[in-house]
Amino acid sequence: MRKELQVLVVSNGYGEDLVGARLIKALDSSISFKVLPIVGMGRAYETLRVDLLNPRQEMPSGGFIRKPGAFFSDICSGLIGLTLGQMGTLRKLRKKVSLSICIGDTYVLWLAGFCAGGKIVFLPTAKSDYMERHFWIERFLMRKYARVVITRDELTAQSLRKSGINAQYLGNVLMDCFEITGVDFGINSSDVVIGLLPGSRKDAYLNIEDMLDIIPGIYLLNPGDKSPPVFMLAMSSTLNLINIRAIAERAYWIFNSPVSDQINKGLTGILTKKINGIDAVIFISDRFGDVINRANLVIGLAGSANEQAAGLGKPLITFPGRGTQARKSFLKKQAKLLGRAVSFVSKRRVPQEVWNILGNPYRIEEMGKEGKARMGGSGAINKIAELILKDFINES
């Protein structure tokens, strides 16, 4: 009888945690999984039968250390101790796991390779040649530690193979990390719906404030031949509805708790406000997949969620936010990744851009095609699971 297999999953980001959780579900249930989320608490894993390792801690930057101030805040919050503790945890697993699956950037690959060692499957979700090529040091680490690198697009796979790296493209894992149930939220099929994606990190609350600032302008610039839009705010499980309510009420929105029928239709909250004589409405829901599926257009200050919306063919508008993630530099890279699927504008230009896009069916179609082409379809998780079982687990 084959002894119980131990597989380590290391991920460093909220979107990466979702990928890891989906991959664990797709793999053999007889495998024993140990999971170390490098960023945050790893809530995506909490409902799974896994050994969730420590230490884990939320940091002020949310994992986006792009300025000295963010780095200093994380240091003051215990980043050095957290990192040393995570390295110690991984060292204790050396020669005890059959395989490590690393999801994120090359830091997490180095961490697992240097500390835990052994065979590694690496999913570099954080980078694509559409944005920028991997640096020489990143390629060196892939050659040194990874048995196989499973990229998010074929362009990146081809580039890595030219550097002697065993790279494969099996589809985009992000497109497997949300569910569409078909719920309509009680919204009329003829209504224009604008999705709002504030993200999942702490700075999502700042993003919500900025989005609420923008909405009156969208109503005021309505060209007149269009019905007022309905807004849908996708609320991540990492966010608190009480905090969202407080932010909305400071901006003079009225919060309404949904009744049972509305809860059954997928709503967790409703915001209303009178704007220029119009009854403005924002529906809040934690059903992310259904929100982006129902949206005609999306305004996003997120990472993975923006990309997933574009992958579903939804025109995407982004603008620089005030938090650690939705910085101008980050969104510019995301715009390179998504190409013409995204319109990156200043905050004040968002209302006009909304109507520019909604009033141009050709542009809507072209943005949708580009997003689907850049992100690829679903089904990657099962293909990756099959590869891992065939080439790494069954040979153990």
7-11, 92-96, 310-314 — which is least confidently predicted?
A: 92-96
Q: What is the mean pLDDT of the chain?
A: 92
Looking up tokens 């224009």 gives: 192
pLDDT of 99 reads 95
Is residue 297 within 8 Å of residue 354, measured between CB atoms? Answer: yes
159-186 pLDDT, tens digit per residue, is: 999 999 999 999 999 999 999 999 989 9
Collect all residues with Cβ–Cβ distance below 8 Å to 361 and sequence separation of at least 6: none
Q: Is pLDDT of 61 > 70?
A: no
**What local confidence, expressed as pLDDT, does residue 1 receive?**
39
Quote the Cα angle for 74-79-81, to 5°.
155
Architecture of the domain defined by 193-375? 3-Layer(aba) Sandwich (3.40)
Of 234, 249, 241, 230, residue with least CA distance to 196: 234
Q: What is the pTM of this model?
A: 0.88
DSSP-derived letter for residue 247 is H
Query: Structurally, what CATH architecture does the domain formed by 6-171+379-393 represent?
Result: 3-Layer(aba) Sandwich (3.40)
Query: Per-residue pLDDT for 68 more than 70?
Result: no
- CATH topology match: 6-171+379-393 vs 193-375: yes
Residue ranges of domains in the chain: 6-171+379-393, 193-375
Question: Average pLDDT for residues 43-53, to the nearest whole number?
Answer: 93
Residue 220 burial class via C-beta count within 10 angstroms: exposed 0-12, middle 13-18, buried 19 and up: exposed
Portion of the chain with pLDDT greater than 90, in percent: 77
- Give residue-wise pLDDT tens across range 293-340: 999 999 999 999 999 999 999 999 999 999 877 888 889 999 999 999
Residue 148: which H helix or E strand, with range?
Answer: strand 148-151
- What's the pLDDT at 290? 97
